[in-house]
Amino acid sequence: MGARPGYYGRWRRLAALGALGLPLSLYGLDAAFQQQLQQSGKDLTAAYQGCLAKFPPNAQEQLRIAQRAWIVFDNKQEAASAAVGQRKGLTEEDLDRIALPETTTRTEMLRNYFNLPNLDLATLRQQAARADQELTVAYKQCLPGLAPDEEKKFREAERAWIEYRDKDAHAHLGDPSGP
């Protein structure tokens, strides 16, 4: 994990500071955006718990594994973004605003887990291969100009995303054998 805490730790810390009655502006976040961050965390947790409750008991562990992999990815992505963002003069709020859609996307994926089209494995692999090609192009466009430590963090985040993607696919397919 990077030097900056993950969202979950940050929300707990900000909530504790807010309980002390200190103005949120001291911590670089306006009150409305802090509420948006907190709500996105609550929404993600609710979506995960709702999805988990719908899974048959033998498949729940695969979803737990996938969600843990997403959290690892999210933390590594945050560390990589912070390293690059610091050099580019981005604030923590800027980075949070950049990262928020990732949490929102994961929340929507969990909410719609059982509404996804029932595709066969060959079609899923074909779609994944196409998406991987597009992501590889974007990934390679991000690498030039990174400092060695930034590139290392970026690669770690990319590897964590690949692990999450694979574990999530196994959870979605209900594959008890895992990735």
pTM over 0.95: no
Nearest to 163 by CA among 55, 75, 81: 75
Cα 163 to Cα 95: distance, rounded to the nearest angstrom? 23
Q: What is the average pLDDT across 131-151?
A: 80
Summarised one tens digit per residue, pLDDT across range 99-134 is 888 888 888 888 888 776 666 667 777 877 887 787
Looking at residue 109, its amino acid is M
Is residue 66's pLDDT more than 80? yes
Q: What is the average pLDDT across 74-100?
A: 83
Q: What is the average pLDDT across 47-73?
A: 90
Helices 121-142 and 148-173 cross at an angle (nearest 10°) of 170
Instruction: Name the percent of the chain lying above pLDDT 90.
Output: 15
Cα 125 to Cα 122: distance, rounded to the nearest angstrom? 5
Cα 104 to Cα 107: distance, rounded to the nearest angstrom? 5
Q: What is the pLDDT of residue 29?
A: 57
Cα 25 to Cα 97: distance, rounded to the nearest angstrom? 16
Task: Name the DSSP letter for residue 178.
Answer: -
Structure tokens belonging to residue 60: 């729940």
Mean pLDDT of the chain: 75
What would the DSSP string read from start to end of 21-81? T--GGGGT--HHHHHHHHHHHHHHHHHHHHHHHHS-HHHHHHHHHHHHHHHHHHHHHHHHH
